[in-house]
Amino acid sequence: MRTLDFKDHRRVLGDNRYVYAVVSRRVGGLSIGINLNPDKACNFDCPYCQVDRTVPGGDRQIDLAVLSAELDALLAMVVAGDLWSHAPFDTAAPELRRVGDISFAGDGEPTAAPGFAAAVQAVVDVRARYDLEAVPLSLLTNATLFHLPKVVAGLDVLADAGGQIWAKLDAGTEGWFHRVDGTTMSFERVLSNIQWASERYPVLIQSMFHAFDGVGPTDTEVESWAGRLRDIVAGDGTLIGVQVYTVAREPADPSVTALSQERLAWIAERAMAQGVSAAVY
């Protein structure tokens, strides 16, 4: 569920299996990513996915000791100031030399990882060890597995630590959902999971819109998507807001192309017309 523009700087992070980082002006500091899917497995097959699956992934099991050690080592370097003498972090502006956020955003669906709840707890514990509880924590997810008790356990840990769920909702109809997310899963399952989560946890929606061979979602599709947002809120859900975005880099599927900023702005307006705050990213 890697949708943000993270890059792995292995020169300083060594051969990390789970923890990677980039300096981000948008988050105002170091944006730390936690990849719980080193095996690159995902229950979606989005044509816009940036994960290179032509190169095989690693072990599916999460080694919690290694995960904790990697995050611990990175935070120790940040706190001590050592990180900022290593390329590419040495070019970061002084005001960005801080931890900006920590996201579960990896090479697949994080909630599908074995030991998901324990992994979230491990990250929360290391963050607390450095008195960084104020650093925002988020989970980038496709919302397909919230109905599983073992996933709920992890969502509870995340929410108790002040974290947010950033749920993917790329469509308004089953047909477009199957196409843009490369799945035959039930759209109703995703909608009911987001509804359920939005009544219990802080939920932000991330929506990717793009074209296939120059043909993007129709106005009707976008209106359906906005209607889904309206239904969530009308059904007693609470949404932090919606991030609307398009493909930034060329995906593996050459038919996938970006929408214009004007079209994205119009899409965001459709959400706002339903009373949901939305912004283009």
Integer angstrom CA distances of residue 275 from 165, 243, 266, 267, 279: 20, 14, 15, 13, 13
Decide if 105 contacts 4 (C-beta within 8 A). yes
CB of 168 to ligand SF4, least distance (A): 6
Closer of 44 and 201 to ligand SF4 (Cβ): 44
Cα(67)–Cα(154) distance, integer angstroms: 16
Q: How far is 154 from 177, CA to CA, in rounded Å?
A: 26
Q: Angle formed by the axes of helices 219-234 and 187-198, to 10°?
A: 40
Q: How far is the CB of 144 from ligand SF4 (least distance, A)?
A: 9
Beta carbon of residue 120, minimum distance to ligand SF4 (angstroms, whole number): 18
By C-beta, is 96 or 203 nearer to ligand SF4? Answer: 203
Identity of the residue, 100 or 251, whose beta carbon is nearer to ligand SF4 in the bound complex:
251
Tell me whether residue 99 or residue 180 sits nearer to ligand SF4 (CB atom): 180
The DSSP secondary-structure symbol of 60 reads S
Task: Please give the Cα distance from 84 to 116 (Å, whole number).
Answer: 31
Quick one: tokens of 80?
């001590």
Structure tokens at 115: 């030991």
Dist CA 191 CA 31 (whole Å): 29
Binding site for ligand SF4 (CB under 6 A): 1-3, 42, 44-46, 49, 51, 108-109, 142
Please state the closest distance from residue 44 (CB atom) to ligand SF4, in A.
4
User: Shortest approach of ligand SF4 to residue 208 CB, angstroms?
Assistant: 8
In whole angstroms, how close is the CB of 258 to ligand SF4 at the nearest point? 15
Considering beta carbons, is residue 99 or 155 the nearer one to ligand SF4? Answer: 155
- Between residues 36 and 51, which has the closer beta carbon with respect to ligand SF4? 51
Q: How many CB atoms lie within 10 A of CB 227?
A: 15
